[in-house]
A and B are shown apart, each in its own frame.
Chain A
Amino acid sequence: MGGIRLIVKTITRITLGIIFLFGCYLTFAGHLTLGGGFAGGIIVAISYILFVLAYGEAAAAEKISRFWAGVIMCLGLLLFIVIALWGMWDGYFLGNFLPKGDPHDLLSAGTIPWLNLAVMLLTGAGLFLAFLLLIGFEVAPQEERGT
Chain B
Amino acid sequence: MLELYALLIFMLLGALIAVENHDLLSSVIAVGTVGFGLCIVFLYLGAPDLALTQLVVEILALVILIRSTVALTVPETYKGREFLAYLMTGIFILTLLFFSSRALSSLPSFGAPLMKVSKEYIALGTSRTGAPNLVAAIMFDYRALDSLGAAAVLLVSILGVITILRLKGRK
- Cβ-neighbour of B152 out of A26, A77, A100 (below 8 A): A77
A42 contacts the other chain (CB 8 A): yes
Query: Given A32-B131, A109-B129, A122-B155, is A39 in contact with B53 using a C-beta cutoff of 8 Å?
Result: yes
Whether A35 pairs with B148 at a CB distance below 8 angstroms is no
B-contact bits for A122-147, CB 8 A (1 contact / 0 none): 11001101110111011010001010
Chain B: CB-nearest residue to A87: B144
Query: Given A32-B131, A108-B130, A116-B136, is A134 in contact with B68 using a C-beta cutoff of 8 Å?
Result: yes
Query: How far, in angstroms, from A30 to B138 measured CA to CA in the complex?
Result: 12
Q: Which residues of chain B come closer than 8 Å to A140, judged between CB atoms? A: 167-168
Whether A77 pairs with B151 at a CB distance below 8 angstroms is yes
Q: Which residues of chain B come closer than 8 Å to A146, judged between CB atoms? A: 169
Q: Which residues of chain A come closer than 8 Å to B132, judged between CB atoms? A: 31-33, 103-104
Whether A138 pairs with B136 at a CB distance below 8 angstroms is no
Q: Which residues of chain A come closer than 8 Å to B161, judged between CB atoms? A: 130, 133-134
B133 → chain A closest CB, angstroms: 5
Q: Which residues of chain A come closer than 8 Å to B57, judged between CB atoms? A: 42
Q: Is the interface of B mostly helix, strand, loop or mixed?
A: helix
B48 contacts the other chain (CB 8 A): yes
Q: Which residues of chain B come closer than 8 Å to A112, judged between CB atoms? A: 129-131, 136-137, 140-141
Q: How large is the interface on B (under 10, 10 to 19, 20 to 34, 35 or more residues)?
A: 35 or more
Query: Given A109-B137, A111-B140, is A36 in contact with B68 using a C-beta cutoff of 8 Å?
Result: no
27 example contacts (A-B, Cβ-Cβ < 8 A) are as follows A31-B132, A32-B131, A33-B133, A36-B135, A36-B136, A39-B49, A39-B56, A46-B56, A76-B151, A80-B147, A100-B129, A103-B130, A103-B132, A108-B131, A109-B130, A109-B141, A110-B141, A112-B129, A112-B137, A118-B151, A126-B155, A127-B158, A129-B158, A131-B60, A134-B64, A134-B161, A140-B167
- What residues make up the interface of A, taking CB atoms closer than 8 Å to B? 26, 30-36, 38-39, 42-43, 45-46, 49, 53, 70, 73-74, 76-77, 80-81, 84, 93-94, 96, 100-104, 108-112, 115-116, 118-119, 122-123, 126-127, 129-131, 133-135, 137-138, 140, 144, 146
